[in-house]
Amino acid sequence: MTDFFAPCPRGLETVLFNDLVEMGGQNVRATEGGVHFSGDWALCYRVNLENRVASRVLWRVKEGWYRTEQDIYKAVFDLQWQRWFNVTHTIRVNTTAIRCALKSLEFITLLVKDAVCDRFRAHCDERPSVDTLTPDVRIHVFLEDEKLMLYLDTSGDPLFKRGVRQNTNIAPIRENLAAGILRLSGWTPGTPLLDPMCGSGTFLIEAVQMSLNIQPGIARSFAFEKLLNFDKPVWQAMKQAAIAAQVPPKPLEIYGSDMYGDAMKTAWRNLSDAGLSDCVELNQANILEISAPAEHGIMVANLPYGERMGELDELAELYPKLGDTLKRKFGGWTAYLFTADKAILKLMRLSPSKRTPLFNGAIECRLLEYKIVSGSNRPAK
Ligand SMILES: C[S@@+](CC[C@H](N)C(=O)[O-])C[C@H]1O[C@@H](n2cnc3c(N)ncnc32)[C@H](O)[C@@H]1O
């Protein structure tokens, strides 16, 4: 049994906790910003391949205590790194800390890198090189009070990089946050879904992949493939089974629109590059002028926050009209609006039935739920 930690956007820990329990994780324990779990390596591969919410899967190689920099150096040097990866692999060290009394985290990063290199030198007279941009192996140091945790990253690029959405517009949402919002909305494949501010199409692509059983990691590689304990036959069988379980692309009740042509082009290109453009209906339209594409369904939107010139003034005008549009045209629908803008609560003139705090990186946002009853300014009970 191996110990892992999967970080995720803050606010999605419960979703990830439930996923890991369902996937057969042991000792599953949520903490702020992620979930600890234990399991075998096949589970680690599966979480990397299938989970839509985690940002990474980290393998915990050491848990201990420290007081001084020297304690950290010794803890790192004492580990047999050469058993986990080759000296020819490039490395990068990342340090994060909460309530750490040591002066410089940059110094800890250098110290840990030195300790790993010294361990290799002691073993084979050679040391791995550092590559901060595209390292083969990422080592994460986490210090909390006087507790030290060392992790080897099994993901490599963060998991929100699906290897699908290559073209982005301004202010795209991260894929794992978009997937988490879809999960919090309770949307399941088969229910009509509309993103009326679709930008580069992140919600649409996540929803199409979920509908067609396309695993989020199927088009990319992972750092665990470079570790010396990599079990290639297990991984290849898992990937082949995932490919065999995919449903061929077909038209789905998934709808996207955006006011701007450049956004629509980006969304179309992303869907089309992934071979999924026939699955979604795309239209260029102002959110105030669209009609519900089905009698009931789920609307998700990542509201603009003034990223285009002059948009802030327009937004102050947009929100009250948006409340009206929802009431007039979307009775029977539930809308989930994701925003960091607190002004919306007053301006919409529609009371949310739920507000869920969610973080977009360091920015505190809200996912506002509106259950729309035609002509009403109150959410349905
Ligand atoms: C924060 S971005 C959405 C990003 C998108 N979720 C993605 O991942 O790329 C907000 C989008 O709202 C669009 N937008 C702004 N005002 C609009 C309006 N009145 N009607 C429709 N779309 C609008 C912008 O063009 C932008 O693409």
Residue 76: is its pLDDT beyond 90?
A: yes
**What's the fold here for domain 2-153?**
VC0802-like (3.30.2130)
Best mutation site among 169, 181, 197, 313 for ligand 1 pocket (most ligand atoms within 8 Å of CB): 197
Separation between Cα atoms, residue 247 and residue 232, nearest integer Å: 25
The sheet carrying 2-7 orders its strands as: 26-31, 34-39, 2-7, 58-65, 147-153, 137-144, 91-98
Quick one: pLDDT band at residue 165, thresholds 50, 70, 90?
low
What would the mean pLDDT of 75-82 be, rounded to a whole number?
Answer: 98
pLDDT at residue 344, as a whole number: 85
Report the atom number in ligand 1 closest to the C-alpha of 173: 8
What would the mean pLDDT of 6-15 be, rounded to a whole number?
Answer: 98
Q: What is the percent of the chain with per-residue pLDDT over 70, rounded to a whole number?
A: 96
Residue nearest to atom 19 of ligand 1 (CA): 286
Amino acid letter, 69 = E
Output the CA 318–ligand 1 centroid distance in Å. 12
Residue 377 vs residue 295, higher pLDDT: 295
Best mutation site among 204, 259, 309, 358 for ligand 1 pocket (most ligand atoms within 8 Å of CB): 259
Output the CA 338–ligand 1 centroid distance in Å. 11
Would you tell me how many other CB atoms lie within 10 Å of the CB of residue 219?
11
Contact 68, 107 (CB under 8 A): no
Query: First-to-last CA distance in the chain?
Result: 46
Output the CA 373–ligand 1 centroid distance in Å. 24
Output the CA 198–ligand 1 centroid distance in Å. 6
Give tens-digit pLDDT for 90-111: 999 999 999 998 989 999 999 9
What would the mean pLDDT of 321-333 be, rounded to a whole number?
Answer: 95
pLDDT at residue 316, as a whole number: 83
Residue nearest to atom 17 of ligand 1 (CA): 259
Quick one: pLDDT band at residue 380, thresholds 50, 70, 90?
very low
| Closest alpha carbon to 151 in 199, 79, 217 | 79
Sketch the domain layout of the chain as residue ranges: 2-153, 175-217+247-371
Quick one: pLDDT band at residue 10, thresholds 50, 70, 90?
very high
pLDDT at residue 374, as a whole number: 73
Output the CA 259–ligand 1 centroid distance in Å. 7
Domains 2-153 and 175-217+247-371 share a fold: no
What would the mean pLDDT of 45-63 be, rounded to a whole number?
Answer: 98
pLDDT at residue 375, as a whole number: 65
Separation between Cα atoms, residue 325 and residue 315, nearest integer Å: 15
Residue 358: is its pLDDT beyond 80?
A: yes
Quick one: pLDDT band at residue 178, thresholds 50, 70, 90?
very high
Residue 64: is its pLDDT beyond 50?
A: yes
Output the CA 194–ligand 1 centroid distance in Å. 13
Residue nearest to atom 7 of ligand 1 (CA): 172
Output the CA 71–ligand 1 centroid distance in Å. 50
> CATH for 175-217+247-371?
3.40.50.150
What b/e string do you get for 153-187 counting C-beta neighbours within 10 Å, with b at 16 or more?
bbbbbebbbbebbeeebeebbbbbbbbbbbbbbeb
What would the mean pLDDT of 234-251 be, rounded to a whole number?
Answer: 98
Task: Give me the DSSP letters along 218-246.
Answer: TTS--GGGGSTT--HHHHHHHHHHHHHTP
pLDDT at residue 305, as a whole number: 78
Within 6 A (CB) of ligand 1 lie: 169, 171-173, 196-197, 199-200, 202, 258-260, 263, 286-287, 302, 304, 318
Residue 327 phi, psi (nearest 5): -65, -40
Residue 381: is its pLDDT beyond 50?
A: no
What would the mean pLDDT of 113-127 be, rounded to a whole number?
Answer: 98
Residue 120: is its pLDDT beyond 80?
A: yes
Output the CA 306–ligand 1 centroid distance in Å. 10
- pLDDT averaged over every residue in the chain: 94
Report the atom number in ligand 1 closest to the C-alpha of 200: 9
Give tens-digit pLDDT for 257-292: 999 999 999 999 999 999 999 999 999 999 999 999
Quick one: pLDDT band at residue 314, thresholds 50, 70, 90?
confident
Burial class (CB in 10 A: 0-12, 13-18, 19+), 321: middle
Residue nearest to atom 12 of ligand 1 (CA): 197
